[in-house]
């Protein structure tokens, strides 16, 4: 079975202490529901932008925001599809924590890759382990990493996933488990393309399932995209013989610490807006209202018909649910008559 090789250094301990303190503050902050929805939506947009940008997608953050809002942007279809696909991946992995899934299977990993590369890779490559040798090259066409041979990929993934669901992995701090998994997945390079995006989605899923990012405010990818050279350099610090990933974990934990502290600062700014809290107080929403808000985080609009289908309820009941959100100024009505729809404020 796969066994990671690393040491717990002072740098890692300090980063984990910083991460834990910021996380505690975020989880205990008193936020109005609309602010929580806003932060979740921002995290989705950032993850979709940064994780694809690391791989060379040229869309700007503003273009990604417009694309996910349903607006037309001037860009190649492949670039747009990469972003839209990644949002589908985030929706897919978000569902597992809600359903109480505890184990990560190869089936889940293959599905993540299929969603990531749908319409980009061929059917026999999307969601399938590679059957050809691959190499990672730099901007000059030089080979910087040679992944394992194609004939041992399935065995390596079997071992990796077995370890991922082992007692040893279960006892690790979630951020360390996420960082270890990120590196080992990239090292195996099980697919012909889309390995980086799948690795980061898997790392995010691990944080979700381990209860680390319960509010979904945290974007794992933004720090790494800010200095892509350092990101790839950190991946290459691992000794090819010993596979000691200590330096990589120091870098990975540093990135998590920086990113989660940015979320903490945003949460502090919102939760300490006393004028707003005094005016409105805390709002408590039921399951249907929260599900509509979650839907609007990744979809630009929703109609009454869609609300009916979502909950299998009457039109009158659907309107009643929508009125709760309108009354709280969480959504806005757009259009008229049959063309009426609702969007986040």
Measured from the Cβ of residue 85, the count of other Cβ atoms closer than 10 Å reads 20
Q: Name the domain boundary from 271, 292, 308.
A: 271
- For residues 233 and 278, is the Cβ–Cβ distance under 8 A? no
Q: Name the domain boundary from 223, 248, 271.
A: 271
Residue 204: predicted pLDDT: 92
Residue 200: predicted pLDDT: 93
Residue 104 within any structural domain of the chain: yes
Q: What count of Cα atoms within 13 Å lies in the side-chain half-sphere of residue 189?
A: 17
Residue 1 within any structural domain of the chain: no
Owning domain of residue 326:
284-344
- pLDDT by residue for the chain (345 residues), tens only, comes to 799 999 999 999 999 999 999 998 888 877 767 777 788 888 889 999 999 999 889 999 999 999 988 889 999 999 999 999 999 999 898 888 677 778 999 999 999 999 999 999 999 999 999 999 988 776 667 777 889 999 999 999 999 999 999 999 999 999 999 999 999 999 999 999 999 999 999 999 999 898 887 678 878 888 888 888 898 889 889 988 899 999 999 999 999 999 999 888 888 776 645 444 554 555 566 778 878 887 886 678 899 999 999 999 999 999 999 998 898 888 899 998 888 999 887
Residue 278 within any structural domain of the chain: no
Q: Are residues 188 and 291 in the same domain?
A: no
Q: Are residues 121 and 142 in the same domain?
A: yes
Q: Are residues 338 and 226 in the same domain?
A: no
Residue 3 within any structural domain of the chain: no
Residue 116 within any structural domain of the chain: yes
Residue 250 within any structural domain of the chain: yes
CA dist 112 → 54, 104, 119, 338 (Å): 18, 11, 14, 36
Residue 274: predicted pLDDT: 42
Residue 287: predicted pLDDT: 75
List the CATH number of the domain containing 305: 1.10.10.10
Q: Are residues 150 and 288 in the same domain?
A: no
List the CATH number of the domain containing 45: 1.10.3290.10
Cα(207)–Cα(53) distance, rounded to whole angstroms?
21
Residue 25 within any structural domain of the chain: yes
Q: Are residues 170 and 39 in the same domain?
A: yes
From the list 51, 209, 178, the residue with the least C-alpha distance to 115 is: 51
Residue 69: predicted pLDDT: 87
Q: Are residues 325 and 185 in the same domain?
A: no
In the chain, the number of structural domains is 2
Residue 18 within any structural domain of the chain: yes
Q: Are residues 305 and 176 in the same domain?
A: no
């Amino acid at each position: 079975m796969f066994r990671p090789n690393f040491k717990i250094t002072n740098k890692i301990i300090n980063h984990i202490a910083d991460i834990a303190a910021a996380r505690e503050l975020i989880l205990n902050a008193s936020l109005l529901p609309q602010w929580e929805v806003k932060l979740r939506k921002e995290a989705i947009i950032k993850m979709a932008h940064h994780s694809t940008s690391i791989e060379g997608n040229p869309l700007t953050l503003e273009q990604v925001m417009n694309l996910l809002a349903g607006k037309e942007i001037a860009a190649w279809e492949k670039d747009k599809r990469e972003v839209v696909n990644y949002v589908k991946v985030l929706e897919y992995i978000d569902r597992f924590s809600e359903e109480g899934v505890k184990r990560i299977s190869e089936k889940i990993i293959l599905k993540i890759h299929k969603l990531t590369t749908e319409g980009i890779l061929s059917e026999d490559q999307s969601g399938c382990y590679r059957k050809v040798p691959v190499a990672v090259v730099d901007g000059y066409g030089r080979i910087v990493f040679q992944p394992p041979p194609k004939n041992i990929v399935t065995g390596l993934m079997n071992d990796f996933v077995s370890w991922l669901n082992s007692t040893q992995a279960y006892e690790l701090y979630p951020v360390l488990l996420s960082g270890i998994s990120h590196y080992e997945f990239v090292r195996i390079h099980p697919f012909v393309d889309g390995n980086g995006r799948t690795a980061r989605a898997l790392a995010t899923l691990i944080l979700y399932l381990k209860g680390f990012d319960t509010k979904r405010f945290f974007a794992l990818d933004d720090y790494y995209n800010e200095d892509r050279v350092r990101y790839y350099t950190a991946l290459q610090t691992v000794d090819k013989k010993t596979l000691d990933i200590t330096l990589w974990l120091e870098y990975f934990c540093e990135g998590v610490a920086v990113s989660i502290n940015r979320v903490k600062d945003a949460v502090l700014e919102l939760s300490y807006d006393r004028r707003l809290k005094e005016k409105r107080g805390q709002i408590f929403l039921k399951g249907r209202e929260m599900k509509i808000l979650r839907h609007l985080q990744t979809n630009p609009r929703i109609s009454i018909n869609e609300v009916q289908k979502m909950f299998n309820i009457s039109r009158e009941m659907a309107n009643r649910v929508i009125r709760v959100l309108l009354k709280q100024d969480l959504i806005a009505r757009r259009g008229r008559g049959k063309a009426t729809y609702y969007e986040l404020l």
